[in-house]
C-alpha cells in the first residue's frame, strides 16, 4: 500500500516522515503518472493559490478530482483543507478547489496578528464515530492535540454530513466527511501521530 503526497509545494517531506512513523509507505506525486495505484493522497500545506496554479499546469487538478470522485481517501492540511473545500472566502478569483468537503473556509482567516501560533485543540468529545478507533483508544477522553497554525484557514461552516473532530474557540479545525479528512493546522509538524494513524487506517493500512 502506498500513499501519495502531493509534491508541488509545501511540507512534503514532513508528511512522508509522519506516514513512515505510522508504518506507511508513501511517494511524492509531482505529475499525473505518479497518481496511479495509490491507497490515499495527502494534500499538504503551502499556498493554496500557488498549489491551484501548479495543479492546473501539471494536469494534476483533473487527475486528483477524478480520484476524489472515486472515493480515494484524502488528508488535506492547511492549504490542503482550502483545496478540498466547497467554497473559499478571501481566495483569488482564479483559485480552483475540489469541493470534496462540504465546508466553507476563509483563507488566512486567523488574521494577520495571529499569522502563526501553536495551540492545543480538544478532541475529547464531540467526534462521535468520526475518529473510529483512531483517537484516544476507546475509554475516556483523548489527550488534546498539539496544533501548529500557519496562516491557517478558518472553517466558517460545515454541512450536516461533516463530522467535527476537533475545535479551537468553537471553530472546527479537524473535520471528516467519509474518505475526506482535513485539518486547518499542520499535524506533520508535531510529534503526535494520531491524525496520520487515523488516515492510514482510512487508507486500509498502517501500524501502531
Ligand atoms: N494561507 C495559505 C493558503 O491560503 C495556507 C497556509 C498553510 O498551508 N500553512 O493557502
Residues annotated as catalytic (active site), given as ranges: 78, 186, 188
Give CA torsion, residues 62, 70, 167, 112, to 10 deg.
0
Higher local confidence (pLDDT), 113 or 105: 105
Rg of the chain over all Cα atoms, to the nearest angstrom? 15
Instruction: Check if 79 has its Cβ closer than 6 Å to any atom of ligand 1.
Output: yes
* pLDDT tens digit sequence for 108-147: 998 765 578 999 998 854 443 344 444 544 445 678 899 9
Q: What is the whole-number distance in angstroms between the Cα of residue 34 and the centre of ligand 1?
A: 24
pTM: 0.92
Angstrom CA distances, 28 to 22, 34, 104, 146, 174, stand at 17, 7, 28, 26, 24
> Which set of grid coordinates corresponds to residue 56?
492546473
Beta bridge partner(s), residue 174: 166, 183
First-last CA distance in the chain: 16
* pLDDT tens digit sequence for 19-63: 999 999 999 999 999 999 999 999 999 999 999 999 999 999 999
Q: Whose CA is nearest to atom 5 of ligand 1?
A: 79
State in words which class domain 2-203 has: alpha beta
Amino acid at each position: 500500500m502506498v500513499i501519495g503526497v502531493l509534491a508541488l509545494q509545501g511540507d512534503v517531506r514532513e508528511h512522508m516522515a509522519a506516514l513512515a512513523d505510522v508504518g506507511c509507505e508513501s511517494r511524492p506525486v509531482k505529475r499525473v503518472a505518479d497518481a496511479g495505484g495509490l491507497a490515499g493522497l495527502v494534500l499538504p500545506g503551502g499556498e493554496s493559490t500557488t498549489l491551484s496554479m501548479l495543479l492546473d499546469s501539471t494536469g494534476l487538478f483533473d487527475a486528483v478530482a477524478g480520484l476524489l470522485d472515486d472515493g480515494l481517501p484524502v488528508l488535506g492540511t492547511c492549504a490542503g483543507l482550502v483545496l478540498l473545500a466547497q467554497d473559499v472566502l478571501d481566495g483569488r478569483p482564479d483559485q480552483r478547489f475540489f469541493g470534496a468537503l462540504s465546508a466553507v473556509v476563509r483563507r488566512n482567516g486567523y488574521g494577520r496578528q495571529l499569522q502563526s501560533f501553536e495551540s492545543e485543540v480538544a478532541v475529547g468529545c464531540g467526534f462521535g464515530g468520526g475518529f473510529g478507533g483512531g483517537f484516544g483508544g476507546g475509554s475516556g477522553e483523548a489527550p488534546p492535540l498539539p496544533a501548529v497554525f500557519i496562516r491557517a484557514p478558518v472553517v466558517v461552516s460545515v454541512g450536516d454530513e461533516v463530522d467535527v473532530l476537533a475545535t479551537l474557540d468553537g471553530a472546527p479545525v479537524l473535520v471528516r466527511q467519509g474518505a475526506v479528512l482535513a485539518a486547518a493546522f499542520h499535524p506533520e509538524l508535531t510529534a503526535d501521530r494520531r491524525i496520520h494513524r487515523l488516515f492510514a487506517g482510512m487508507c486500509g493500512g498502517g501500524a501502531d
